[in-house]
Amino acid sequence: MTIKVAVNGALGRMGQTVVRAVHAEPALQLVAAVDLNGDHSDIGTTAGIGPVRIPVTTDLADTLRQTKPDVVVDFTSPFTVMQNIATALSLQVRPVVGTTGITEADIEKIREWSAQYQTPAVIAPNFAIGAVLMMQFAAQAAKFLPEAEIIELHHERKIDAPSGTAIKTAEMMLKARGQALPRPVEEMEKIAGARGGSLDGIHIHSVRLPGLVAHQEVIFGGLGQTLTIRHDSFDRTSFIPGVLLSIKEVMQREGVIYGLENILNL
Q: pTM (2 decimals)?
A: 0.85
Instruction: Name the band, by pLDDT with cuts 50, 70 and 90, for residue 244.
Output: very high
Look at residue 19 and give its three-state secondary structure. Answer: helix
Class of domain 3-123+236-264: alpha beta
Q: How far is CA 35 from CA 40, 77, 156, 164, 198, in A?
A: 10, 11, 20, 22, 34
Which of the residues are catalytic? 154, 158
- Homologous superfamily (CATH) of 129-233 is Dihydrodipicolinate Reductase; domain 2 (3.30.360.10)
For residues 258-262, average pLDDT: 92
Domain parsing of the chain, residue ranges: 3-123+236-264, 129-233
pLDDT of residue 22: 97
pLDDT, tens digit, 9 for 90 and up, residues 46-83: 999 999 999 999 999 999 999 999 999 999 999 999 99
What's the pLDDT score for residue 3? 98
Distance CA 70, CA 116 (A): 18
pLDDT, position 187: 78
Average pLDDT over residues 229-239: 95
146 confidence band (pLDDT: 50, 70, 90): confident
SS3 state of residue 232: strand
Does the pLDDT at position 1 exceed 90? no
Question: What's the average model confidence in pLDDT over 1-5?
Answer: 95
Q: Please, what's the b/e burial string for 48-73 (b: 16 or more CB within 10 A of its CB; e: otherwise)?
A: ebeebebebbeebbebbeebebbbbb
Q: DSSP 3-state assignment of 43?
A: helix
Identify the residue with better confidence: 178 or 26: 26
CA 225 to chain centre: 32
Nearest CA to 100 among 78, 80, 115, 119?
A: 78
Q: How far is CA 163 from CA 48, 134, 154, 207, 244, in A?
A: 29, 15, 8, 10, 22
Pairing, β 225-233 against β 214-222: antiparallel
pLDDT at 202 over 80: yes
* pLDDT, mean of residues 108-116: 97
Overall average pLDDT of the 166-187 stretch: 82
pLDDT at residue 184, as a whole number: 65
User: What integer pLDDT is reported at residue 182 of this predicted model?
Assistant: 62
